[in-house]
Amino acid sequence: MVRCINARGFSLVELMVAMTLGAMVSVTIIQIMVGNSVTQQLNRALASSQENGRFIIHRLRQDVLHTGLYNELSGKLDRSVDIAEEAIFVRQHPIIMLSTFASWSALGIIDRDRSGSDELVITRQNTRDCRGYSLGYSVDTEFPVVNQYYVEDETLRCRGFDLRVLRGQKVATGHNRHNSIALLQGVVSFQVLYGLGDANTGQVNRYVTASELSDPMQVVVLRMAVLLRSPETINVNNTHDFIILDNPAIQPSGNHIYRQFETTVTLRNARYQVQRGEI
């Protein structure tokens, strides 16, 4: 004897309720996934900006720390020129002003204020320029280099020179063609202030811009600041301005992460070292 079972399906109302609940769950899951994706993008942008900022500040500090240094007692120094006269020149020109060199009169510090980023040009004794080039000298041979830092197309770049070539004491060879290299992209602003003070104590009396600086020998401290913009587009609202050193406020534009970094460097040049018995 076969027993019949009365099979009953879902009603239309039950199907509609199930579909609605399923849709709500799906929307919630999608929102969570989108939120996680945005959070990951934001975290990556923040981490990238922080890493880039630390890198460029460390790089600039290392490059400018010995601005104005010339140690004629160094056994590694190339002595193919009058080093006594060269030592005087370097110590009188730790910061290169415009028109210092007849062969490159446009090379020198520039304060652009509202119109853009500053340019920093320093001289020091080293085995390589800011690009890592020895400019025709033997490995580990020291010579006076002139390093220029500037921003072009939101990229902080550097260019190195042999001081002796700029002064007409030597013919340019190899990497003396002065091509620049990129240090960091996404640089919205690069600003520099020059601290004037007493070289004996390193105390700063006041800070001036490049256009206000008249005597480079009075510079004992450099203050540098950069404003970086993340390459990634992030859905964020930039509601506050950035004030880079003494410059007018900068209002961020577009959906990017902006970070500001600053550093102050006390110059360890020849006068500093002599006064402390280091050379």
Rounded-to-integer distance, Cα 65 and Cα 264, Å: 10
Please tell me the distance from the alpha carbon of residue 148 to that of residue 3, in angstroms, as a whole number. 97
Taking the CA of residue 32 as centre, how many other CA atoms within 13 Å lie in the half-sphere pointing to its CB? Answer: 6
Three-point CA angle 114, 147, 94, nearest 5°: 90
User: What pLDDT does residue 242 have?
Assistant: 82
The whole-angstrom separation of Cα 198 and Cα 276 is 14
- Residues with Cβ within 8 Å of residue 22, at least 6 apart in sequence: none
Determine contact, residues 146/170, Cβ cutoff 8 Å: no
Query: Residue 275's pLDDT is what?
Result: 46
Q: pLDDT at position 176, please?
A: 60
The reported pLDDT for the residue numbered 162 is: 95
pLDDT at position 169 is 93
Residue 182 and residue 257: Cα distance in Å, rounded? 21
Closest C-alpha among 267, 246, 245, 262 to residue 198: 267
Domain ranges for the chain: 42-275
Q: Are 143 and 137 in contact (CB under 8 A)?
A: yes
> d(Cα 180, Cα 159) in Å, to the nearest integer?
4
Per DSSP, the three-state class of 123 is strand
- Residue keyed to tokens 């580990």: 140
Spans of the chain, pLDDT less than 70? 1-10, 12, 14-15, 18, 22-23, 26-43, 45, 114-115, 174-177, 199-202, 235-239, 270-279
Listed residue (197, 190, 192) closest to 209, CA to CA = 192
CA-CA-CA-CA dihedral for 133, 61, 170, 143, to nearest 10 = -90
Across the beta sheet with 258-266, the strand order is: 204-208, 187-197, 219-229, 258-266
pLDDT single digits (tens) 21-66: 766 776 666 666 555 555 666 667 677 788 888 999 999 999 999 9
Identify the pLDDT of residue 278: 45
> What pLDDT is recorded for position 24?
72
